[in-house]
Amino acid sequence: MSAWSSKLIRRHKAVRQTLREADLALLLRIAVFASLVPLLMRLKLARVERLLRVRQPPERASSRSLDAIVQHLHFARRIGSPLVRSSCLTRGVTLYYFLRRAGIDVTLAFGVRGIGAEFTGHCWLERDGVPILEHEDPRTLYVPTVSIPF
């Protein structure tokens, strides 16, 4: 069996197992949106902020929504590669979009740091001014430059 067919079979099994527990519609929306993030981020930041803005967020949010959205994104990144990139940008923008629509008040923060003559960037989510879903506080490594909502 070739490498690509065994990878396809593993992905198919993972999808079947997850579909028993997950909301297929949400998974597909997350996968499609995440695959479009690189194109979205070519726009001016003010335009991106307008496109990501929630018109009418739900009144109540649950931690179950947060967990489900995060798990769906991780799964979409795993099965959707290479269309769904595994960058902090794809992760941050996608989670911001879906969490805000689930009624979870988060901010998308961007930061930079210089290493010698080169600069690197990172984006992360904050809730009540504190980074969430990060292994370590990115504010100790990156200088926050802008956040959405402005």
Q: Does 15 have pLDDT greater than 90?
A: no
143-148 sheet: strands from edge to edge: 130-132, 118-127, 107-115, 143-148
Band (2; pLDDT cuts 50, 70, 90): low
Band (86; pLDDT cuts 50, 70, 90): confident
Higher pLDDT, 42 or 13: 42
With pLDDT > 70 as the criterion, what percentage of the chain qualifies? 81
The 10s digit of each residue's pLDDT in 89-145 is 999 999 999 999 998 989 999 999 988 889 999 999 999 999 999 999 999 999 999
Q: What angle, 0 to 180 degrees and rounded to 10, lies between the N-to-C axes of helices 45-52 and 88-101?
A: 40
The answer to which of 15-29, 60-74, 85-99, 121-135 has the lowest mean pLDDT is 15-29
Q: Does 75 have pLDDT greater than 60?
A: yes
Strands 107-115 and 130-132: unpaired
Give the domain range for residue 90: 3-148
Q: What is the mean pLDDT of residues 32-38?
A: 96
Written as six digits, the tokens of 31 are 């996968």
Higher pLDDT, 21 or 38: 38
Domain count, the chain: 1
DSSP string of 27-95, one letter each residue: HHHHHHHHHHHHHHTTS-HHHHHHHH--SS--S---HHHHHHHHHHHHHHHHHHTTTS--SHHHHHHHH
